[in-house]
Amino acid sequence: MMATVVSQERKRLHPHKFLLWVGIGSIIMMFAGLTSAYIVRRSAANWLEFSLPPVFWYSTFVILLSSLTMHLSVKAFKAREMMRYRTLITITAGLGVLFATLQFFGFYYLNTHGVQLLGQGSNPAASFLAVITGLHVLHVLGGVIALLVIFMRAYSMRIKSYNVTTIEIAGTYWHFVDILWVYLFIFFNLV
């Protein structure tokens, strides 16, 4: 009888993981709506065609690399290799900040090359790019904040908990924003 109860408990989804998946579903719906609106609006006569700056390629590489370091940090945590975990979570957070910085330089490049992103004189194409990628960067920065909290916990001498749920949630979210960026990057390059 007790084994059955324990078995059923293990099959249940942790409430925080459930909330994460609800949030991810909401974010997917938001970006699906924005990219759909982009496609519909693109058929207008005043649509400005421009290429993404090369720095967006670098930021894509950085965010993919951060996904790898996040995966390795979760593995290190589960193996209780705390020094390796601390190093990898630090690198992941740094790569997240680097991604956001590269995005800023991409926007700056567009602005200095005659593509005004927002405000009077902007084109809907540039505004869509700014809003969609800007929202993504905000989600990445939210992930960076979560990673910084985990980072502080990892270096705290008072906490000796090996509960893997928090790091798994952060890892899932981080992989999600990485996949979301790859989708957006491909979308903006092909559509």
Torsion angle of C-alpha atoms 104, 53, 126, 143, degrees rounded to 10: -40
CA-to-CA separations, 108 to 47, 112, 113, 149, 167, in angstroms, rounded? 20, 6, 9, 30, 34
Distance CA 49, CA 175 (A): 30
Those residues whose C-beta lies under 8 Å from the C-beta of residue 127, and which sit 6 or more positions away, are 117, 118
The superfamily CATH assigns to domain 16-40+54-190 is Cytochrome c oxidase, subunit III, four-helix bundle (1.20.120.80)
Residue 15, judged by CB atoms within 10 A of its CB (0-12, 13-18, 19+), counts as: exposed
More confident residue, 41 or 12: 41
Q: How confident is the model at residue 38 (pLDDT cuts 50, 70, 90)?
A: very high
Q: How confident is the model at residue 7 (pLDDT cuts 50, 70, 90)?
A: low
Q: How confident is the model at residue 9 (pLDDT cuts 50, 70, 90)?
A: low
Rg from Cα positions in the chain: 20
Which residue from 182, 152, 31, 25 is spatially nearest to 86, judged by alpha carbons? 152
Q: How confident is the model at residue 1 (pLDDT cuts 50, 70, 90)?
A: low
pLDDT tens profile 83-122: 999 899 999 999 999 999 999 999 899 889 888 888 888 8
Residue 2 has pLDDT above 60, yes or no: no
pTM of the model: 0.85
For the chain, give the mean pLDDT. Answer: 87
Q: How confident is the model at residue 79 (pLDDT cuts 50, 70, 90)?
A: very high
Domain ranges of the chain: 16-40+54-190
